[in-house]
Structure 1
């Protein structure tokens, strides 16, 4: 476990980024399985494989509007066919096609027995009650064969697949009404800071600042699959922090503490939670920005501490809260940490600590935003990715391939 404030190593980063992620993954165990209707399964992770309950199509069907005929009749040179009926999608084909005749058929309608070709409507002409086919026919028969899409018993969705609109369509087409999904983590939020006030109220004072992080971090959590479980704001007071945290922990799986993570005289977050049984897993990660980030457990609940500086807090939330949530909801922490490798458009700044910098994509690759500051807010409007730059003295010149993460 990491060292708490007050140790001899207070000013040192205690753990490397990759080691911190490894510890986070060890603790990010899925919360359990429940069943959800299709209407409530969206954005959840599949916990059990989804199998088709029916064939698709359920019978040989027309792939085009036209006329169903027999290839055997066409092979004899017949091109004029009496039309003996019409088949619509949703109807049942109850009688076989009489040799030498045709049936008007709509897209998706089952073929009558014996028919094995649909001639497109645009390729024929009508003469009274007869349809006249062209002398030269397409090689395509415009028939969707039974079970050509999938057959009953086929595995259509594997465990871990997130239910996006495409997966939802597939589950419904498989005739599945409910899915086994992993439980969504419930996340509570606790902001600390004497100076904070609700957005919209700061202008009426001379020193208050808007709480810009609470709603932003909550939205990020929702984007990564969480279910918000309430938010509170308290002053920089250990007892107030402890009381608010104790109340929040009763109704959430994850508590995100925003602010109070550093070592100022009024940064109480970690110390305030020790009497509640906080077991610190890691703290003080060797990254810039976001070194004060910490993570621990209070019983079954997870607690993640974010720094109070806006860009640092959002960076840390993306790097640690997002994988914690995907781990708890059955997708695994790696689901939030798959990088996209892009070339640097400009030289990257060097630093001793590993850097995770705000950037944006352009035609030349990824461009790091100038004048990076942990306390900045305005630069986030242009930041659509986080760029990982290794620490140390070795430069990262333009053209270097770097890992980036969607912000």
Structure 2
């Protein structure tokens, strides 16, 4: 059995980005760039108007009022750039090319019209309302560095670079195996004597997707060794990471590790000195990683958050350390002394601070749903009072 920090170090050592692949821009949201994204051209490609209005030469507005004939019209998308003869103006719209010779755009709100004449009576103000060619970016500029998670703002920049596909880190393929004779599909448990709803795999799958995974399957399995081994073999052929819930302790039907043993399981760690979640284990079979989580819902979700989340994030090309960003917060309720194992209490954010939940049972699901953070308690730590500081992690 190893301590928490040693287990995290082993997880982070395996949390390396998977190979890259090319995906269409349409499907790139939330993926991680594998290479710098450089612009194919300037933006804008030519000087364009930032407003609806009239392009003019400053010399033609030296004396006001001025009446200038409208020589041309420039809408957004006009391919050619017109020339503005002296003594005239051009009607332009937002994004339209600024005619050669124009010094500024006068906004339409302060310009009158008399047929084909534009009437300028008030000074236009200091702003030119012209976006210069290349003022946003130039061809070859890096718009997004490698490692960027492509959120909705980054997707706009990627599209503006005029690329149809992006090189991104391949999403880790995850298969989740939920083990236990007592488990039934939600919606059927009450009709099945002796069963309980299988809930853990749904939460594990949601967390994995949130961290960048492609969840290929969730499979509910009975505690039958032959069935479990066949399911393990299939999962390993499909996935980069297999997550097993339940069967991680030392009971007569705890087969989570033994189902992988005939397939060449190499254990990286077998237990961690934490509460809840001591039976959590981690290993490798060939090119796939295997993470075993306890069966109790709170234990499973706490260990998934502490170990699976950074592992998946790292495989997906994200920063795994960002998923372990502990911060200090002030306690708004006291905490009891910690036992001999490092403990991660579930807590809620209250009045600008944090308070531990009254219910800390590893099987609870109602309390699990209202927890905002994990509160880290070192082995043998004394009790803490209101106003003391504790380390917390978003949960």
If the length of structure 1 is used for normalisation, what is the TM-score?
0.91
Name the structure 1 match of 2:393. 405
How far residue 216 of structure 1 moved from its aligned partner, in angstroms, is 2.1
Deviations 1:239-292 (A, max 9, x none): 432222112111111110100112223222123322221111113212221121
- Root-mean-square deviation (CA), in Å? 1.9
Alignment counterpart, residue 30 of structure 1, candidates 12, 17, 29: 17
Matches within 5 A, 1:111-126: 111-126=98-113
Once the two structures are overlaid, the 10-residue window that deviates more, 324-333 or 172-181, is: 324-333
CA gap of 1:343–1:55, structure 2 versus 1, over 3 A, is: farther
CA distance in 2, matches of 1:396, 1:31: 43
The answer to whether residue 330 in structure 2 is matched with residue 376 in structure 1 is no
Residue segments in structure 1 that go unaligned for 5+ positions in a row: 1-13
Contact in 2 for aligned 1:93/1:111 (Cα 8 Å): no
How far residue 45 of structure 1 moved from its aligned partner, in angstroms, is 0.8
How far residue 79 of structure 1 moved from its aligned partner, in angstroms, is 3.4
Name the structure 2 match of 1:261. 248
Matches within 5 A, 1:185-224: 185-224=172-211
Deviations 1:341-362 (A, max 9, x none): 4333322333133222222334
Residue segments in structure 2 that go unaligned for 5+ positions in a row: none
Matches within 5 A, 1:288-367: 288-352=275-339, 353-367=341-355
Contact in 1 for aligned 2:329/2:390 (Cα 8 Å): yes
CA distance in 1, matches of 2:121, 2:385: 66
CA distance in 2, matches of 1:397, 1:42: 44
CA distance in 2, matches of 1:402, 1:63: 51
CA distance in 2, matches of 1:277, 1:54: 52
- Give the number of equivalent residue pairs: 394
Contact in 2 for aligned 1:93/1:113 (Cα 8 Å): no
Contact in 2 for aligned 1:28/1:327 (Cα 8 Å): yes
Matches within 5 A, 1:38-49: 38-49=25-36
How far residue 175 of structure 1 moved from its aligned partner, in angstroms, is 0.2
How far residue 91 of structure 1 moved from its aligned partner, in angstroms, is 0.9
CA gap of 1:103–1:33, structure 2 versus 1, over 3 A, is: same
Equivalent position SS for 2:258: helix
CA distance in 2, matches of 1:398, 1:99: 76
Contact in 1 for aligned 2:47/2:132 (Cα 8 Å): yes
Name the structure 1 match of 2:144. 157
How far residue 108 of structure 1 moved from its aligned partner, in angstroms, is 0.9
The answer to whether residue 118 in structure 2 is matched with residue 131 in structure 1 is yes
Matches within 5 A, 1:99-118: 99-118=86-105
Contact in 2 for aligned 1:34/1:182 (Cα 8 Å): yes
How far residue 76 of structure 1 moved from its aligned partner, in angstroms, is 5.6
Name the structure 2 match of 1:5. none
Contact in 2 for aligned 1:344/1:364 (Cα 8 Å): no
Matches within 5 A, 1:386-397: 386-397=374-385
Name the structure 1 match of 2:56. 69
CA gap of 1:160–1:84, structure 2 versus 1, over 3 A, is: same
Contact in 2 for aligned 1:87/1:93 (Cα 8 Å): no
